[in-house]
Structure 1
Amino acid sequence: MSDPQHTKEEPVEETFISHLVELRDRIIRAGASVIVVFIALVYWAPDIFKLLARPLMQNLPADGKMIVTDVTGSFFVPMKVTMLVAFVIALPLVLYQIWAFVAPGLYQHEKKLVAPLVFSSYSLFLCGMAFAYFVVFPTIFRVMAHYNAPLGAEMTTDIDNYLSFVLTMFIAFGVTFEVPIVVVLLARMGVVSIQKLKQIRPYVIVGAFVISAVVTPPDVFSQLILAIPLVILYEAGIIAARLVIGKDGIKNKEAAAE
């Protein structure tokens, strides 16, 4: 006679193992997509780094140069930059693999919400990086060069330190541009009401300046460049939340009437 408890446990174990196998396959596919893009770009690694360094190079003196303090820095830093660019390019494929893994466990209304959420999050993150590259970097480097001139100091930086700085700024502004998504989600899930979001506006403004003071260089212009967009994006999130919740409220009333 077979053991009923043992019979019930086998399907559970098989389901768990099948999920692990699928997760492994999804991770391999996501990693492979990044590697394929990296291989396609690796030939242009020096040019990609030059493109990343352009905002700094344009604000250095005529004979200014970046330096390398590590023996292998001139090779590995452009490789790191190229790998990060490959990850950003392949991120939609990576997100698709994550979506394909979790989608079977979601309800239909959750599936409808995830697709626009992922697309808008990715788009806003790219917008944040673009804002940092085209607006923030030139402004910060111009201000720093202006500070160095009266001191007679030469403005140079190691390429590895420069990479760490721009990555920090990319992440900071990429996350900053996600604020509308966070606000909409909090309101959509009922965690915070729109009225409450309006009430805490003064605290958000103070928090924006505190965050900008921590992340950006210690000058007023750099802090304003991060704090002001953060406040504007928070207001945009409130407006978007009002639109989203308003549409959902109309649909719910119509469904209740039927």
Structure 2
Amino acid sequence: MQELPPDQIHATDQQEMSFLDHLEELRWHVIRAFMAITVFTVAAFLSKEFVFGTLILGPSKTDFWTYKQLCDLANVIGVQALCIDKLPFIIQSRQMTGQFTMHITSSFAVGIIAAFPYAFWEIWRFISPGLYIKERKIARGAVFYVSLLFLIGVLFGYLILTPLSVNFLANYQIDPSILNEFDIVSYVSTVTTLVLACGLLFQLPMVVYFLTKAGLLTPDIMRSYRKHGIVVIFLLGAMLTPPDPFSQILIAIPLIGLYQFSITVSSRTFKKISRDLD
């Protein structure tokens, strides 16, 4: 029997597993991931004052960190329009189960964000044994970089995109006689959607890296279809953010920057592949 080249030998010498064995293995990885999410969700639910009062409702208050930084910047450069000293809206609960439902929803969102690195690591533990040694070398550090990009995206969504969107929507009026009274369901859904969407969309450089390693993407393709990529970015922003153009533009701006950065990632990866083949 012909021997496989070293780079096509699987990373482990485990015996071939049946389809049901693979399903059983996957089931336990998924269970552990959900257990981690559940633990963080319960912890967030029990920490109502901090999670809901400080984190979730933070962007609705003028003493939020982002608003303070804008006011400090306004004082330095002398442009007082940047200082957000009032948010003309109130949050109401118009459904009997509204507050309780949103308490659970916000706790679950916090649980997903907090447990994401561990949950991704569990899924990666299931995938990695099936990779060849060369493929595992290519994917080295995947858990760290995916988690890092997710964290950066979440921070951008929470500290930049969410407060600016809340301020814009709170101050937008088609007539002064119409008061902004937002339902708690709408507010929490908007905040969690913006934050989680940013966390996921910021994975673009990792997606580009693996597609380039797989030979499915090159930097020349990304440069040639730059305009198409920007259109796709705006479409993704429209689908994953609330239906207001301000939020969509705000999330599209860093994604365009990430697209440019991804071209650099693809270029360096492609050059390394070319050197290895020489």
Shift of residue 217, structure 1, vs aligned partner? 4.3
Shift of residue 31, structure 1, vs aligned partner? 2.0
Structure 1 match to 2:98: 73
Change (3 A) 1:210 1:99: closer
Match of 2:58 among 54, 60, 70: 54
2:43 paired with 1:40:
yes
Q: Work out the CA distance in 2 between the residues paired with 1:83 and 1:213.
A: 24
Match of 1:218 among 205, 227, 244: 244
Q: Work out the CA distance in 1 between the residues paired with 2:106 and 2:19.
A: 38
Match of 1:26 among 25, 29, 38: 29
Is the partner of 1:148 in helix, strand or coil?
A: coil
Match of 1:176 among 186, 201, 220: 201
Q: Which has the larger radius of gyration?
A: 1
Is the partner of 1:66 in helix, strand or coil?
A: strand
Change (3 A) 1:35 1:70: same
Structure 2 match to 1:105: 130
Contact 1:77 1:160 in 2 (8 A): yes
Contact 1:209 1:223 in 2 (8 A): yes
Unpaired runs of at least 5, structure 1:
1-10, 254-258
* Number of equivalent positions: 241
Contact 2:89 2:180 in 1 (8 A): yes
What is the identity percentage for the equivalent residue pairs of Structure 1 and Structure 2?
29
Structure 1 match to 2:216: 191
Deviates more, 1:116-125 or 1:203-212: 203-212
Give the helix-richer structure, 1 or 2: 1
Counterpart amino acid of residue 27 in structure 1: V
Q: CA RMSD in A?
A: 2.7
After TM superposition, list the pairs within 5 Å mapping 1:150-169 onto structure 2: 151-169=176-194
Change (3 A) 1:18 1:207: closer
Shift of residue 61, structure 1, vs aligned partner? 5.3
Is the partner of 1:34 in helix, strand or coil?
A: helix
Contact 1:205 1:231 in 2 (8 A): yes
Change (3 A) 1:90 1:212: closer
Shift of residue 48, structure 1, vs aligned partner? 0.6
Match of 2:148 among 123, 145, 162: 123
Q: Work out the CA distance in 2 between the residues paired with 1:107 and 1:159.
A: 49
Counterpart amino acid of residue 182 in structure 1: V
Deviates more, 1:65-74 or 1:40-49: 40-49
Q: Work out the CA distance in 1 between the residues paired with 2:249 and 2:43.
A: 38
Change (3 A) 1:144 1:21: closer
Unpaired runs of at least 5, structure 2:
1-14, 63-83
Match of 2:275 among 238, 250, 253: 250
After TM superposition, list the pairs within 5 Å mapping 1:2-21 onto structure 2: 15-21=18-24
Contact 1:128 1:170 in 2 (8 A): yes
2:163 paired with 1:135:
no
TM-score normalized by the length of structure 1:
0.81
Deviation string 1:12-41 (CA, Å, 9 cap, x unpaired) is 8x8333333323322222222222233333
Q: Which stretches of structure 1, 4 residues or more, deviate above 6 A after TM superposition?
A: none
